[in-house]
Amino acid sequence: MSQLSIQLEPLTIENFAEFGEVIGCAGHDFFHINEAHTERYHALVHTETDTAGKIGISIFRNIKTTTLPLQIDLLERHPIGSQAFIPMQGQKFLIVVAPNLNAEQPDPQRIRAFMSDGTQGVNYRAGTWHHPLLTFESPSDFAVIDRLGTGHNCDVFEFAEPVLIQE
């Protein structure tokens, strides 16, 4: 069996729409505030959680540098809450996602890979299969907005064979 190989795609609002939202100014409307000194890009994403959880803001510091090509062997999802990643230092990062094959696993044949330009973050919708944070610089800090609370909110799926991500 030959190894599955995924090509990087541009991270755009349209390309990423199936999995969540792109967090950034490009392609979004704004209105002026503060005597027209500021453009407000309002409500770019809507966080998702169940009634038992609350929304938390954290900083994730990634300490391992990613290089391409890269073999991955798992994806994870958070079934009851969305999860947003916003780069704090203008760093590019790799986003790997997949739609569901069924209720228990991602569809490995439909994995997609995107690269943030460093001004974009992403918000994974609740239940979206994605790879844990992958950065091209380390250490790299990210503001993370996600669900806090009790209840099962992390599924991990390991592939039988690694998947290759390349430029």
Name the residue ranges covered by the structural domains of the chain.
5-166
What whole-number distance in Å separates Cα of residue 124 and Cα of residue 130? 8
CATH number of the structural domain 5-166: 2.60.120.480
Phi/psi of residue 108, nearest 5 degrees: -65, -25
Question: What's the confidence (pLDDT) of residue 37?
Answer: 85
Residues 6+ apart with CB under 8 A from 102: none
Question: What's the confidence (pLDDT) of residue 118?
Answer: 96
DSSP 8-state code for residue 69 = S
Q: List the chain pLDDT tens, one digit each, 167 residues.
A: 689 999 999 999 999 999 999 999 998 899 998 889 888 998 888 899 999 999 999 999 999 999 999 999 999 999 999 999 999 999 999 999 999 999 999 999 999 999 999 999 999 999 999 999 999 999 999 999 999 999 999 999 999 999 999 99
- At residue 145's C-alpha, the angle toward residues 79 and 89, to 5°, is 130
What whole-number distance in Å separates Cα of residue 105 and Cα of residue 50? 21
Question: What's the confidence (pLDDT) of residue 2?
Answer: 82
Q: What is the CB neighbour count within 10 angstroms for residue 132?
A: 12
- HSE-CB at 61 with a 13 A cutoff on CA atoms is 2
